Structure 1
């Protein structure tokens, strides 16, 4: 049964840390893959084959795959926001700007997620979550302030990443609101597979087919995206969202852009400064408030 506590349980902490590492490094991998593979072809491939892979895993583990009757329309909206909207907007956004900055804009998601969860899920916006929201978004703001000029020079990339964040937030709240009675593995597999169909069809008409095989690093980045970024991380994220209140999971996810910045340093030569240090302290403070502090309200 999902937890309703105001902090992360042990399973949630494990899922959060693994997601921060795996999705954080995925931003650099995405940037590398996009140097040789068109955006829609890239994401469509990962969604289709990732979805098939997750469904195979569910079947091998004896999980039922049937979609409950009467939930088709709700599954459609989850797919539209969580898979199609997020992946299309984020993939084109990261192509137009540095991967670390794209990750930061994508993780403005709690800015939309928290008020939506208060409105639709009637989650309490107590002092603890307000403090965490202020700390987390303060950290994101510090990082973004470092590159306002470069962001202003890529307005389309900024717009796409904010649209991606809004789609992700809406999808998270709807997933929590509707609670489709399926095991998380099968639900994740169907969402990925159904989301991949329009994306891969769009690739034929917009991106065109790849003209040559990928070189080594983009190929490795594609494999990482498929196996880790999609098959594992989407399952882990859906599990985390269903485990704790939306405000807790969304604010805790702010660890990921810190790893995204680090991966940009390691793999893409992006240079950090004092902004990153201050932001790290603020974001870690936000995660600490919702994960290891007292479960009682202030």
Structure 2
């Protein structure tokens, strides 16, 4: 007996928009915190303060904490690939480019994820559609970066490459999670992941930035705690709720909804303005997502 396809009902759409808002807000909160806190330390704050939030949720749901060393190895890999590396690259990138632009470049994650999964996972073959979507995503990035990206060194271009590196890290994280953490409770996976991330980042921050300063302004603390509570803790709860209700394919729509929130917050509160080529690049990336997803063109053919 076949399972019915998962659909986006009104509740799923509300949760998806809320998820896009809190994830889009992460770029804004990071931009605010960067005024006082270095990028690596922001990453540590983001994962460290998320631990008690998710721990309370896991305890309330009576989800058992695994004792299998292989599962904790899985958490360690996810902590590095899905949190420590991409968060640090994105936050450093935001020291050179606007938060809205960073969110647009991060939107290539879905296309890269499809290609990486196609290469590494036997049950997700690499198709012409996935390759076409990834190529369009790269074209969109090329339009954003412009021809000067290959004509000389520019810190802004290096920052954009850092965001792309974060997207690629997210792509490998999805494969790692499929292989190492299949069948584990999702919220426990999230708690294990942020715990491992904090263990990874603590010595790195101590060596590179020194002990984290606690004498920060209320605005900075608000941004850091919002990163943890909203853009990480609440985001994971929404993420897994949408995954169960509407499925992974519908969940990936959040990729296209994040940049508008990040761009709007940057424009309203940080005075950021996107160049025309950024909007053109975003449009091309959106088409690449549609090609990769396949459902829009499938409906047009029917």
Deviations 1:6-31 (A, max 9, x none): x8644764443222211112201101
Counterpart contact for 1:59–1:65, Cα < 8 Å: no
The one of 206, 209, 228 equivalent to 1:207 is 209
Correspondence 1:257 to 2:259: yes
**CA distance, structure 2, for counterparts of residue 133 and residue 252 of structure 1:** 17
How do residues 148-297 of structure 1 correspond to structure 2 at under 5 angstroms?
152-211=154-213, 213-237=215-239, 244-245=247-248, 249-250=251-252, 252-272=254-274, 274-275=276-277, 278=280, 290=293, 293=296
Counterpart contact for 1:20–1:259, Cα < 8 Å: yes
- Once the two structures are overlaid, the 10-residue window that deviates more, 126-135 or 82-91, is 126-135
SS at match of 1:71: helix
Provide closer, same or farther for how the CA distance between residues 72 and 172 of structure 1 changes in structure 2, counting only shifts above 3 A.
same
Query: CA RMSD of the aligned region, Å?
Result: 3.7
Correspondence 1:82 to 2:82: yes
Q: Post-superposition shift, 1:282?
A: 5.2
Q: Post-superposition shift, 1:267?
A: 1.6
**CA distance, structure 2, for counterparts of residue 224 and residue 95 of structure 1:** 19
**CA distance, structure 2, for counterparts of residue 155 and residue 132 of structure 1:** 23
Query: What's 1:51 paired with?
Result: 51
Correspondence 1:100 to 2:100: yes
The two structures have a TM-score, normalised by structure 1, of 0.79
Deviations 1:65-110 (A, max 9, x none): 3355642332322222112211222222222322222223333223
SS at match of 2:206: helix
SS at match of 1:95: coil
Query: What's 1:117 paired with?
Result: 117
Deviations 1:259-290 (A, max 9, x none): 22222111211123544655565566666774
Deviations 1:53-72 (A, max 9, x none): 20111102322233556423
Counterpart contact for 2:97–2:159, Cα < 8 Å: yes
Q: Which sections of structure 2, spanning at least 5 residues, go unmatched?
A: none
Counterpart contact for 1:33–1:222, Cα < 8 Å: yes
Counterpart contact for 1:188–1:235, Cα < 8 Å: no
Counterpart contact for 2:71–2:181, Cα < 8 Å: no
**CA distance, structure 1, for counterparts of residue 262 and residue 147 of structure 2:** 16
Count of residues in Structure 1 that have an aligned counterpart in Structure 2: 294
Provide closer, same or farther for how the CA distance between residues 86 and 214 of structure 1 changes in structure 2, counting only shifts above 3 A.
same
Deviations 1:114-163 (A, max 9, x none): 11122233325667767765666665555444996999343442332222
Q: Which sections of structure 1, spanning at least 5 residues, go unmatched?
A: none
**CA distance, structure 2, for counterparts of residue 175 and residue 4 of structure 1:** 25
Counterpart contact for 2:111–2:289, Cα < 8 Å: no
